């Protein structure tokens, strides 16, 4: 049983076994090795939280996997958004009236909550952006352009989406840093970081904590 009290899925058990066999010097990625309920239980447990899933497409209950592009919103989020627009909507950090003060307080409270959730040292480390592409561009063009120089290396993986490749290609071209990509091993289970770890150069490694296309995470 997982910590959720539900039986572990076959996928999770396989991922845990693979994880237990990890070798030194390699960064292994594992698929969904979390205490997740089996897919069938997700249907009853979580499906009802997402009103958009309450429909049939091609004669079958809708299943939606394109979350990296546009994520569906659970009822709690839809209600919070509607409540905000009904009662509070106004300028954040750019008004002195009551609604603006309230909107600003809510916005900053959300930043505090996100900081606590991701384990940030301080709330001001959390910067809200419109999407992943904007966030990666921001890091690459601010930190990357100020800190990378000729001889440095930028190490990405071949499993990345364009939003985590193109900004680094541009920064590499402008700074003279060398862009390298680590590949997935044959069974696509792990990223071979051995070579990357042995490089003598300063390296920037913009790899995600959880790989969102594969649902894998480094361990
Ligand atoms: C797999 C994947 N990763 C990243 C992105 C970029 O995300 P965003 O739209 O938040 O910039 C997308 C967008 O479609 C995507 O499909």
Q: Predicted confidence band at 17 (pLDDT cuts at 50, 70, 90)?
A: very low
DSSP result, 41-98 = HHHHHTGGG-GGGSSEETTEE-----TTTS----HHHHHHHHHHHHHT-S-SSS--SH
Residue 138 Cβ inside 6 Å of ligand 1? The answer reads: no
Please give the model's pTM, rounded to 2 decimal places. 0.73
The upper half-sphere exposure of residue 125, i.e. CA atoms within 13 Å in the direction of its Cβ, equals 10
Residue 131 Cβ inside 6 Å of ligand 1? The answer reads: yes
Q: What percent of the chain has pLDDT over 90?
A: 53
pLDDT score recorded for residue 178: 94
Residue 147 Cβ inside 6 Å of ligand 1? The answer reads: no
Span 82-109, pLDDT tens digits: 999 999 999 999 999 999 999 999 999 9
Residue 32 Cβ inside 6 Å of ligand 1? The answer reads: no
Fold of 132-218: 3.40.640
Domain boundaries, the chain: 10-61, 88-125, 132-218
CA 215 to ligand 1 centroid distance, Å: 14
């Amino acid at each position: 049983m997982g910590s959720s009290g539900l039986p572990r899925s076959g996928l999770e058990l396989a991922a845990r076994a693979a994880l237990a066999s990890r070798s030194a010097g390699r960064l292994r990625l594992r698929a969904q090795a979390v205490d997740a309920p089996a897919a069938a239980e997700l249907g009853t447990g979580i499906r009802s939280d997402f009103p958009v899933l309450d429909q049939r497409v091609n004669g079958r209950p809708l299943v939606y996997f394109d979350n990296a592009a546009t994520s569906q919103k659970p009822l709690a989020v839809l209600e919070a958004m509607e409540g905000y627009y009904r009662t509070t909507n106004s300028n954040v950090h750019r008004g002195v009236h009551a609604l603006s003060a309230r909107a600003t307080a809510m916005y900053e409270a959300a930043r505090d909550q996100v900081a606590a959730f991701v384990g940030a040292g301080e709330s001001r480390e959390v910067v809200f952006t419109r999407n992943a592409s904007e966030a990666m561009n921001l890091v690459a063009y601010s930190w990357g352009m100020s800190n990378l120089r000729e001889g440095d290396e930028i190490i990405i993986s071949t499993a990345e989406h364009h939003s985590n490749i193109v900004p680094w290609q541009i920064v590499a071209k402008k700074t003279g840093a060398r862009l390298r990509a680590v590949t997935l091993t044959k069974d696509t289970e792990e990223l071979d970081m051995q070579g990357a770890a042995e490089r003598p150069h300063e390296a920037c490694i913009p790899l995600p904590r959880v790989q969102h296309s594969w649902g894998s995470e480094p361990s």
